[in-house]
């Protein structure tokens, strides 16, 4: 049996079980073998019956002397039996498992593993795992480190163990290590076949760790390889318009800005400029903290496109963010006569006129817009778009076989090692410093008991300093689109807060409002008319009001650190001291540790590192982001293994002959999940 054999062709796996296994992402023999245990139960201690003591977890082997059902006064069944060995007799007890009477046969020898306890004033083995011995030298469910797997309805770990051991025996002749032995020795990695056997049925915990490390290495290695091969293909197959980056014109552009660029902004502009002069299209990610100035870096790239006579397309995930970019770009380019147009779903084509920079949301894809000569596509918060949406926009902007340069941006910083894994096919530029003059935001974690005094303090701040406030309603459920439950919760909170701040203008913002109403609400807030803006997390990106200096986040424990940091980044944009209040009723130490990190750090990269270790990247970006890499075996916190696997992937690309077995796996079958 080969690794790509459908699971349905395994003995005793019919369509019913195949459908159940699909819920665990198991569709082939390979998938089953890479469905690794989440933990192990240690049943290695074997004991004679006379030596057993209450509180011990042991394995005993003996003959069933009797087994029967006993009915309790409440009508429930207890299964009680006796097992004997040369040293004595022990009571064995199960609860509400009447089928055991048929399975456990009197007079046969069994292996039992479980905890010794007291039952009916007697020493007993309570709810043990069991299996018949039948002359077996090796047990599967008892007397060893027993694997426990991620399960689904009616697919137990016991059932999975049986199928894994069977599958290993059937595919063994087809297994071959695809990583050269010198590479394995270099990184102290065990053989692949040994790893598959040991991850499921290890002799020791150390053996299990070594096996999991090897399989995690495989998973990361194949991801890096796919990314690097995509990157290689992109540069070899695609052709772009080579731009001439006029140094004097670029200096004039930078000098025209009303602020000084940071060193990392200048470095990123230079990295992008080096890409634009090549005839293979740029494919670069600009990663930066909240407020680090990504838009102006993208504007510099758009300016290079403009002075070469080409257009730029700038796509954002929300209308709020698109509006913000439009306003920023319009202001930046005003003196250079660069024509910036905002594309909305209601726009009529003839209203566009001649345009140098198109700014919009998905409307850029769906509207019938004639892009005449696009040389640059900027995609902001790119993880919020599907792979197909990104590809559609790139395809739409291609011209006579020439692809545009691609700059993607994210305000969700993640550690560089993880970024190279998640976005391995992109070149990376990082904005790791904030513009001068930004003051740190004081952050507090407070309990609901202090909410009222907090509101009184806010009222006083508004009256004395004429500042403005955001109040963010709790995230009720993780969802790509705002749910009606969240809208209703925000509406209820809004009504309460109107009473609390009765002598001030309070307004409500959420994603289900019409574009017209949203714009009116935002306009009122930007003009300083609205003092308190109650909102769902829709304000996470795209709102820039320098006079807003207090951010209150209700139900803070429901947000990831990265999202809390994004929300906090809506304040602290002016010269006035800013504050963030994280309100939580959780008493969890884990939650408190996470939230306390925000009070100590203003670095999105530091917070992302912590979120990555504690909750994984799905929590940094939100659980349902498009095309996001989901590691099944490897851990994001294992930066050392990530670096090693990337190094081997790069070596394989450079030396395909040496790594021919590995590269063939990419084409023929995946030895790790996608």
Q: DSSP secondary structure string, 173-233? A: GG----S-HHHHHHTT---HHHHHHHHHS-SSHHHHHHHHHHHHHHHHHHHHHHHHHHHHH
pLDDT of 66 over the 90 cut? yes
> Between residues 435 and 224, which one has the greater pLDDT?
224
Q: Is 598's pLDDT higher than 50? A: yes
| Secondary structure of 605-633 in HEC code, one letter for each residue | HHHHHHHHHHHCHHHHHCCCCCCCCCCCC
Token pair, residue 366, equals 């769906």
Position 214 scores a pLDDT of: 98
Token code pair at residue 20? 């159940």
79 sits in which H/E element: strand 77-85
Global pTM reads: 0.80
Ranges 306-310, 381-385, 429-433, 664-668: which has the least confidence: 381-385
Using 50, 70 and 90 to split pLDDT, how confident is the model at 623?
A: very low
Q: What is the 3-state secondary structure (H, E, C) of 358-386?
A: EEECCHHHHCCCCCCCEEEEEEECHHHCC
Lowest mean pLDDT among 16-30, 112-126, 168-182, 356-370: 356-370
Percent with pLDDT over 90 in the chain = 60
Quick one: pLDDT at residue 51?
96
| Least confident range of 31-35, 183-187, 270-274, 483-487 | 483-487
What is the per-residue pLDDT across 4-17, written as a single tens digit (0 to 9) for each? 899 999 988 989 99
Q: What is the pLDDT of residue 395?
A: 83
The whole-number pLDDT of residue 400 equals: 76
Query: Which pLDDT band holds residue 673 (cuts at 50, 70, 90)?
Result: very low
Residues of the chain above pLDDT 70, percent: 92
For residue 569, the tally of other CB atoms under 10 A from its CB is 23
Confidence bin at 440 (pLDDT 50/70/90): confident
Cβ distance 416 to 348 under 8 Å?
no
Q: How many residues does the chain have?
A: 674
75-91 residue pLDDT tens: 889 999 999 999 999 99
φ, ψ for residue 619 (rounded to 5)? Answer: -80, -25
Average pLDDT, the chain: 88
- Tell me the C-alpha to C-alpha distance, in Å, between residue 148 and each of 10, 156, 162: 21, 9, 12
Residue among 633, 664, 629 at smallest CA distance from 420 = 629
More confident residue, 560 or 304: 304
**What is the dihedral angle through the alpha carbons of 498, 501, 506, 510, rounded to the nearest 10 degrees?**
-60
Residue 478 scores a pLDDT above 60: no
For residue 410, pLDDT beyond 90: no
Contact predicate 40/126, CB 8 Å? no
Instruction: State residue 319's pLDDT score.
Output: 83
| Separation between Cα atoms, residue 115 and residue 259, nearest integer Å | 70
Helices (H) and strands (E) in the chain, counts: 23, 22
Q: Which long-range contacts (CB under 8 A, 24 or more apart) does 604-607 make?
A: 604/289, 604/290, 604/412, 604/413, 604/562, 604/565, 605/289, 605/413, 605/414, 605/415, 605/432, 607/561, 607/562, 607/565
Residue 473: C-alpha distances to residues 296, 551, 553 (Å):
31, 11, 7
Average pLDDT estimate for 587-610? 87
In sign, the C-alpha dihedral spanning 236, 241, 242, 245 is negative
DSSP 8-state symbol, 262:
P
Q: What's the whole-number mean pLDDT along residues 284-304?
A: 92
User: With 0-12 CB in 10 A as exposed, 13-18 as middle and 19+ as buried, what is 249?
Assistant: middle
For residue 669, what pLDDT is reported? 45
**Structural domains for the chain:** 1-40+151-175 (1.10.150), 45-143 (2.40.50.140), 243-277+293-410 (3.40.50.300), 442-601 (3.40.50.300)
Mapped onto helix, strand or coil, the DSSP state of residue 468 is strand
Mean pLDDT of 590-610: 87
Mean pLDDT value of segment 525-548: 84
476 versus 490: which is more confidently predicted? 490
Say what the pLDDT of residue 627 is: 45
Closest CA to 364 of 402, 319, 410, 408: 319
CA–CA dist 84, 61 (Å, integer): 8
User: Which pLDDT belongs to residue 177?
Assistant: 92
HSE-CB at 184 with a 13 A cutoff on CA atoms is: 19
pLDDT band at residue 629 using 50, 70 and 90 as cut-offs: low
Element (H, E) at 333: helix 319-333
More confident residue, 311 or 382: 311
By the 10 Å C-beta count (0-12 exposed, 13-18 middle, 19+ buried), 339 is classed as middle
**341, 359 Cβ separation under 8 angstroms:** yes
218-247: per-residue pLDDT in tens? 999 999 999 999 888 888 888 999 999 999
Q: In what order do the strands lie in the sheet with 579-583?
A: 442-446, 579-583, 548-553, 468-472, 532-535, 506-509
Any long-range contacts for 448-453 (C-beta under 8 Å, 24+ apart)?
448/583, 448/585, 451/583
Closest CA to 576 of 552, 601, 545: 545
Nearest CA to 552 among 434, 412, 460, 448? 448
């Amino acid at each position: 049996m080969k690794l790509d054999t459908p699971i349905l062709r395994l003995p005793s796996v019919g369509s019913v079980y195949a459908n159940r296994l699909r819920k665990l992402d198991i569709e082939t023999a390979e998938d089953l073998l890479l469905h690794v245990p989440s933990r192990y139960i240690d049943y290695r201690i074997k004991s004679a019956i006379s030596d057993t003591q209450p509180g011990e977890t042991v394995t005993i082997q003996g003959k069933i002397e009797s087994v029967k059902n006993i009915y309790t006064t409440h009508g429930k069944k207890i299964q009680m039996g006796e097992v004997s060995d040369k040293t004595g007799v022990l009571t064995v007890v199960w609860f509400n498992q009447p089928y055991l009477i048929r399975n456990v046969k009197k007079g046969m020898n069994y292996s039992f593993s479980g905890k010794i306890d007291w039952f009916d004033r007697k020493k007993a083995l309570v709810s043990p795992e069991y299996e018949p011995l039948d002359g077996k030298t090796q047990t599967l469910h008892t007397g060893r480190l027993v694997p426990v797997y991620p399960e689904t309805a009616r697919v137990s770990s016991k059932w999975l163990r049986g199928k894994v051991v069977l599958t290993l025996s059937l595919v063994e002749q087809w297994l071959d290590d695809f990583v050269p032995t010198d590479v394995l020795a270099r990184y102290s990695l065990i053989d692949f076949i040994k790893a598959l056997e040991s991850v499921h049925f290890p002799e020791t915990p150390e053996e299990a760790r070594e096996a999991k490390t090897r399989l995690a290495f495989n998973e990361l290695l194949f991801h890096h390889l796919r990314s690097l091969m995509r990157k290689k293909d992109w540069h070899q197959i695609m052709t772009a318009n080579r731009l001439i980056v006029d140094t004097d014109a670029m200096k004039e552009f930078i000098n025209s800005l009303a602020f000084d660029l940071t060193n990392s902004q200048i470095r990123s502009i230079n990295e992008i400029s080096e890409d634009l002069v090549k005839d293979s299209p740029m494919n670069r990610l600009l990663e930066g903290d909240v407020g680090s100035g990504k838009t102006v870096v993208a504007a510099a790239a758009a300016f290079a496109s403009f002075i070469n006579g080409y257009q730029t397309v700038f796509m954002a995930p929300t209308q709020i963010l698109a509006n913000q970019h439009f306003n920023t770009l319009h202001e930046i380019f005003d003196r250079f006569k660069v024509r910036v147009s905002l594309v909305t779903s209601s726009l009529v084509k003839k209203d566009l006129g001649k345009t140098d920079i198109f700014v919009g949301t998905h409307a850029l894809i769906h509207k019938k817009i004639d892009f005449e000569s696009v040389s640059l596509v900027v995609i902001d918060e790119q993880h919020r778009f599907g792979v197909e949406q990104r590809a559609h926009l790139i395809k739409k902007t291609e011209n006579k076989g020439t692809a545009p340069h691609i700059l993607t941006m994210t305000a969700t910083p993640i550690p560089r090692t993880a970024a190279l894994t998640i976005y391995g096919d992109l070149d990376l530029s990082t904005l790791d410093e904030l513009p001068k003059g930004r003051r740190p935001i004081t952050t507090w974690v407070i309990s609901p008991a202090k909410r009222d005094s907090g509101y009184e303090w806010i009222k006083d701040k508004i009256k004395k300093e004429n500042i403005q406030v955001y109040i963010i309603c709790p995230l009720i459920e993780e969802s790509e689109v705002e749910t009606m439950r969240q809208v209703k919760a925000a509406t209820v909170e809004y009504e309460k807060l109107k009473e609390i701040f009765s002598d001030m203008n309070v307004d409500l913002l959420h994603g289900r409002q019409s574009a017209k109403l949203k714009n009116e609400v935002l306009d009122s807030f930007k003009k300083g008319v609205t003092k308190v803006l109650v909102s769902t997390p829709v304000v996470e990106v795209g709102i820039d009001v320098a006079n807003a200096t207090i951010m209150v986040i209700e139900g803070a424990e429901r947000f990831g650190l990265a999202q809390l940091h994004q929300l906090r980044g809506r304040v602290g944009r002016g010269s006035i001291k800013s504050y963030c209040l994280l309100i939580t009723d959780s008493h969890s130490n884990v939650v408190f540790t996470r939230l306390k990190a925000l009070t100590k750090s203003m670095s999105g990269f530091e917070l992302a590192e912590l979120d990555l270790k504690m909750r994984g990247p799905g929590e940094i970006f939100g659980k349902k982001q498009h095309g996001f890499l989901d590691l099944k075996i490897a851990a994001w916190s294992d930066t050392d293994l990530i670096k090693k696997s990337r190094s081997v992937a790069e070596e394989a690309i450079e030396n395909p002959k040496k790594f021919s077995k590995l590269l063939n796996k990419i084409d023929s079958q995946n030895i790790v999940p996608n």
